[in-house]
Structure 1
Amino acid sequence: MQLKPGVVAEYKARHDAIWPELADLLHKSGIRDYSIFLDEETLALFAVLKLTEDNDRDALPDHPVMRKWWDYMAPLMEVEPGNKPKEWPLTPLFYLA
């Protein structure tokens, strides 16, 4: 994901005060151990999360709470139509278990 310039503090503040209903939705959707990292030089965001086997992550874009969060965060990020954050996959190069 990609932040816009000058909004790092606000992005962090909004996540530090994540809505309880959004946290509950993410947990109920099978998302665990969720972290977001920032590359301060490029303002790129890198999200790491674990999914349960029975996760329902694909249904999140249709949920009203998720859509409301995206609308709330859209001024801070590069977004798709409908305010979904722009995302792109990264190529794994190394993993040590």
Structure 2
Amino acid sequence: MQSMGMVIGIRSEHIAEYRRLHAAVWPGVLDRLRRSHIRNYSIFLREPENLLFGYWEYHGSDFEADMAAIAADPETQRWWRLCGPCQVPLASRQPGEHWAPMVSVFHVD
């Protein structure tokens, strides 16, 4: 199992829309995540800084292929077109990143 923490900004004027979208994530998007071995996926909002923190666990054996399958999924692409304008990627992210990955510094079971 591989865990992933990531962060991105959110536009204050889109917080209500982002909450609404995530209160009813499309079944096809959730199915694609499950088929790509993503589990325990959570997104947290921090106000007033307007940051989103995402956490998920990967339980597969071919991370690159599973991430490619998510990215190629038409329903997921439509979902991203709705969510993307709500988000503000961090200036410090690396080329090609949208959400900026974080490094784990502590874990306890």
- Which TM-score bucket, shorter chain as reference? 0.7 to 0.9
Does the 8 A contact of 2:36 with 2:60 survive in 1? no
- Correspondence for 1:91: 103
- Correspondence for 1:29: 36
Q: Give the count of matched residue pairs.
A: 93
Does the 8 A contact of 2:44 with 2:52 survive in 1? yes
Does the 8 A contact of 1:30 with 1:57 survive in 2? no
Residue of structure 2 aligned with 1:78, choices 88, 92, 100: 88
- The answer to whether the aligner puts 1:15 opposite 2:22 as a matched pair is yes
- Correspondence for 2:49: 42
Identify the structure with the greater strand proportion.
2
- The answer to whether the aligner puts 1:3 opposite 2:13 as a matched pair is no
Greater RCO between the two (CA within 8 Å, min separation 6)? 2
Instruction: Report the AA paired with residue 98 of structure 2.
Output: K
Deviation beyond 6 Å, 4+ runs, structure 1: none
Q: Which runs of 5+ in 2 are unaligned?
A: 1-7, 90-95
- The answer to whether the aligner puts 1:59 opposite 2:86 as a matched pair is no
Identity of aligned residues (%): 30
Q: TM-score, normalised by structure 2?
A: 0.73
C-alpha spacing 1:77/1:61, structure 2 compared with 1 (3 Å): same
Does the 8 A contact of 1:35 with 1:48 survive in 2? yes
1 CA distance for matches of 2:88 and 2:19? 16
Backbone CA RMSD of aligned residues: 2.0
Q: Which runs of 5+ in 1 are unaligned?
A: none
